[in-house]
Structure 1
């Protein structure tokens, strides 16, 4: 077989979309719209760059390289050992999977519990036990991913969102409010930073190989065809994500005049209550459950395949079980504890992922020294900034503020460019020495 049918390609697009689209992808654009109000479209533009553009470019970069390990090795063998490991821990059992399970509980079951039970750890335990048992069961057969996602879960997800959007258009809730301070003064860059929280650029580095394997299972073997279909799948999933994010941002903004909430889950609850009453809360719970299932299954499969290659002593099924069990345990720490550690971790890792993706896409023009120095200077800045934010209560911010774009939250850009420039000079010098 030398080509994919349009139907197969569409299902792969749906599969990739649903792998990306989890709980965070619902709550963060809704919060952005609610907080940005009249500035929602400017903020959304920044959000789409990091929450749509970078993930799709990441999938393509991994597809071109062949694997995340190959892409990371271009920096240094040690980097290829440490960086993928940190990514898989972050988007896997250490953060993203437990977050999905806990958010699904908070949005689907907890609102309907009596007050005496709503704060009970036992209820969270029982829900996550069932949730992760189902996730594990559906993760044990990765070859069925396209059928389960492309033909079932994604259409359900899109149908539910379409119902909500149509209702919002037919019965608009209210006018838009003025943005809160963060979005009033820094709307584009704040949206850009909000896109980090979806974790999709990190997930893209993991999902790339899953999509490659899915295409190969369809009979496509040559690298050029695989790269072409990766591009089509990425663009298709990206268009879907951008449309859904625009809808969710609009929904959040539509209730900004009623109340500006402190998180996206509360924003969506307010929207659904205004549009559908109590029935809307049930619909929202179903939407969150399907989205969280999709992303959790994808991440368990990705982590299981990675760790089974890293430590082949255990089989894929054993590793998938280990990942699901650890995720279940961490999920029972509670949502607030999980979210509290996410911002500094993502602030440290995300800039490295962005630089690696960009260099991977430009690989034919990039030498080893550019990879090495670009990543080193980005890592140094990210490490210092993470310590400043997480441990020192921003005591070094005045000093770091000398760096351009630091106040906008993307101070890593200049160190990255400087590192790339140094790498270009060093690389050119090595070429000249070899040619003498």
Structure 2
């Protein structure tokens, strides 16, 4: 019984750590914003969002566990060395110093402290705050072996207690009837699709592949060495994360929809959260929200700095882990001072390119027994996916790129010939076609 109780405790601790690593900036602001836009259509939007923001990250974590590799780079390089290098670096730069990490510092400031500061002093205080924020994250990242203790046992439980206070009061005293609120134009007919693509913003599918290196090392730190046992621990710990994230996401989407009873739609979820907490608790609510957001973002920042630096150290072993955490932290600090809305706009095309590749990679890992893990199926399917998702990314690229005459004409042609391109799923049919072609090729080769 003691051994069983210890195992349950270990599953809960790793699950808490994994949830803590996942649940950062986007996980707080995007569900609230989605709820405000979806209004009465919050249920289909919520289902779509939960698939990409909870279901797929869960599958990603399990996929890495059953792949028996020590991280994304090792696994993707097994398919093709150049693809492995490109995909790993692109993914870690996206969820690291270029987009996700800077967003953590900016969200902490905008949601937690912006309302206390005048417009004239905004840039100066953002600079000071982000410097302190990334310095603390840097200090936590110096000892990656302690990450399960810091995140799983300290920061995450504190965050959950504080966030629960706000969520409970929203359900007890809602601002309005969530199912009777106005639905924004894009959500009238496509609420599920909007929710599904909205889940990309959390970056959790990418994070599930990136954080695998931390999860696997943490499990090994418990004395678990057998690949099958590591996969089992990953699965059972992932269930804890799945349940926690589903409950909190659903609550935040409901919070956003019901807030329309008293508030107008905000420019982003950070502003909405600030207004909601101020409505319920006044000044104390803003202080409570500031603490919630800073803890949420800090724990994820520690995980991202650690994961990025450990991976880059494996790819480029001549550069030490310490030097990488210095570089990653410094770049994140500099980019964070660009501003939240700018970071979100710039990240969307990159996410639309990388997300389909990550999703298909996970699916192929699960389906690999069917084609005996033949690398040709991986290569052909991912090639088809990559080409199609590139056009999906081009469609929402900045105006300076998208409004080029050649690009405009190209996108018109692609929209006519590529099914589901208008809905944002232009990569789906090419991925299936690539998979079928890969299966046919290995079958023909085996006959020869």
TM-score tier (shorter): over 0.9
* Structure 1: distance between partners of 2:119 and 2:426: 45
* Structure 2: distance between partners of 1:14 and 1:311: 31
The equivalent residue for 2:390 is 383
The equivalent residue for 1:72 is 76
Of 213, 221, 234, 2:238 maps to: 234
The equivalent residue for 2:146 is 144
Map Cα deviations across residues 381-422 of structure 1 (whole Å, 9 max, x no partner): 122332343122473444333322222211110111111111
Q: Does 1:400 align with 2:409?
A: no
Of 21, 29, 32, 1:30 maps to: 32
Preserved CA contact (<8 Å) 2:112 2:274? no
Preserved CA contact (<8 Å) 1:193 1:409? yes
Of 427, 430, 435, 1:412 maps to: 427
Preserved CA contact (<8 Å) 1:27 1:264? yes
Q: Does 1:82 align with 2:86?
A: yes
Q: Does 1:221 align with 2:225?
A: yes
Map Cα deviations across residues 194-250 of structure 1 (whole Å, 9 max, x no partner): 000000101111111210110110111111111000001112111111111011011
Secondary structure of the residue aligned to 1:365 is coil
Secondary structure of the residue aligned to 2:260 is coil
Map Cα deviations across residues 265-319 of structure 1 (whole Å, 9 max, x no partner): 1221222122212221111111110111011100000011011111111221221
* Structure 1: distance between partners of 2:381 and 2:85: 18
Of 149, 155, 172, 2:157 maps to: 155
Preserved CA contact (<8 Å) 1:91 1:199? yes
The equivalent residue for 1:333 is 338
* The 10-residue stretch of structure 1 (410-419 or 255-264) with the greater mean CA deviation from structure 2: 255-264
* The 10-residue stretch of structure 1 (275-284 or 53-62) with the greater mean CA deviation from structure 2: 275-284
Secondary structure of the residue aligned to 1:313 is coil
* Structure 1: distance between partners of 2:185 and 2:56: 27
* The 10-residue stretch of structure 1 (15-24 or 173-182) with the greater mean CA deviation from structure 2: 173-182
Preserved CA contact (<8 Å) 1:255 1:270? no
Q: CA deviation at 1:337?
A: 2.6
* Structure 2: distance between partners of 1:310 and 1:71: 13
Of 261, 266, 270, 1:261 maps to: 266
* Structure 1: distance between partners of 2:149 and 2:392: 43
* The 10-residue stretch of structure 1 (219-228 or 268-277) with the greater mean CA deviation from structure 2: 268-277
* Structure 2: distance between partners of 1:272 and 1:300: 30
Preserved CA contact (<8 Å) 1:22 1:292? yes
Q: CA deviation at 1:74?
A: 4.3
* Structure 2: distance between partners of 1:156 and 1:293: 12
The equivalent residue for 1:91 is 95
Q: CA RMSD in A?
A: 1.7
Secondary structure of the residue aligned to 1:256 is helix
The equivalent residue for 2:446 is 431
* Structure 2: distance between partners of 1:42 and 1:387: 27
* The 10-residue stretch of structure 1 (126-135 or 276-285) with the greater mean CA deviation from structure 2: 276-285
Secondary structure of the residue aligned to 2:261 is coil
Structure 1 unaligned regions, length at least 5: none
* Structure 2: distance between partners of 1:289 and 1:193: 26
Preserved CA contact (<8 Å) 2:174 2:259? no
Q: CA deviation at 1:68?
A: 1.2
With normalisation by structure 2, the TM-score equals 0.93
Structure 2 unaligned regions, length at least 5: none
* Structure 1: distance between partners of 2:419 and 2:135: 48
The equivalent residue for 1:108 is 112
Distance 1:73 1:310, change over 3 A: closer
* Structure 2: distance between partners of 1:178 and 1:397: 32
With normalisation by structure 1, the TM-score equals 0.95
Of 41, 44, 59, 1:42 maps to: 44
Alignment of 1:130-279 (within 5 A): 130-176=132-178, 177-258=181-262, 259-279=264-284
The equivalent residue for 2:437 is 422
Q: CA deviation at 1:124?
A: 1.4
Q: Does 1:60 align with 2:62?
A: yes
Secondary structure of the residue aligned to 2:402 is coil
Aligned pairs, number: 431
